[in-house]
Amino acid sequence: MPSTPADDEAWRGNALPLLNEIRHALDRLLASGETTVIDLGALPMGPQDEAELLAALGTGEVDATINAGGPSSVRETAFHGVWLVTHRNETGETQARFIEVAFVPELLMSQREDVADSAKALSEQLREEQNIRK
């Protein structure tokens, strides 16, 4: 696979070190459960780097959309535990992109505060329904 800058074709040398970093992150996840988040916007990327990286990671089993302040996509890559998280705003513009190495990306989980709100809201709803039936 041509992946070094020695190639005279448009350079795509950043994908490989990143893939190595992801592999180490997988080891850490297995050993201690520690998750790793890599901000793709903070890395120097050449025109081909991103396509190369995404092609190497492939597509996995989970493809979720979170609708909170605009759509965010959370996709598992072909490598279990390696997730691609893309945050968009209400107008669909990409705001940030992360590689998250985790069993479940944090944002997919329901948050404690939201669950507490929901418990209250559901009680409220039940009370109202009971009042209607009375």
The contact set with other proteins (CB under 8 A) reads 5-6, 8-11, 13-14, 37-39, 41-47, 49, 66, 68-69, 72, 87, 89-91, 93-96, 98, 106-107, 110-114, 117
Min. distance of Cβ 27 from other proteins in angstroms? 18
Min. distance of Cβ 24 from other proteins in angstroms? 16
- Contact status, residue 84 vs residue 57, Cβ threshold 8 Å: yes
Nearest to 84 by CA among 108, 100, 65, 61: 100
Buried b (16+ CB within 10 A) or exposed e, 86-107: ebbeeeeeeeebbbbbbeebeb
Nearer to other proteins, 94 or 125 (CB): 94
Min. distance of Cβ 107 from other proteins in angstroms? 6
Min. distance of Cβ 43 from other proteins in angstroms? 6
DSSP-H helix ranges across the chain? 15-32, 49-57, 112-133
Tokens 């990143």 sit at which residue? 18
- Reduce the DSSP state of residue 29 to 3 states and report it: helix
Nearer to other proteins, 45 or 131 (CB): 45
Amino acid in the structure at residue 28: R
Q: How many residues does the chain have?
A: 134
Nearer to other proteins, 3 or 134 (CB): 3
Nearer to other proteins, 61 or 90 (CB): 90
Nearer to other proteins, 72 or 77 (CB): 72
Min. distance of Cβ 130 from other proteins in angstroms? 26
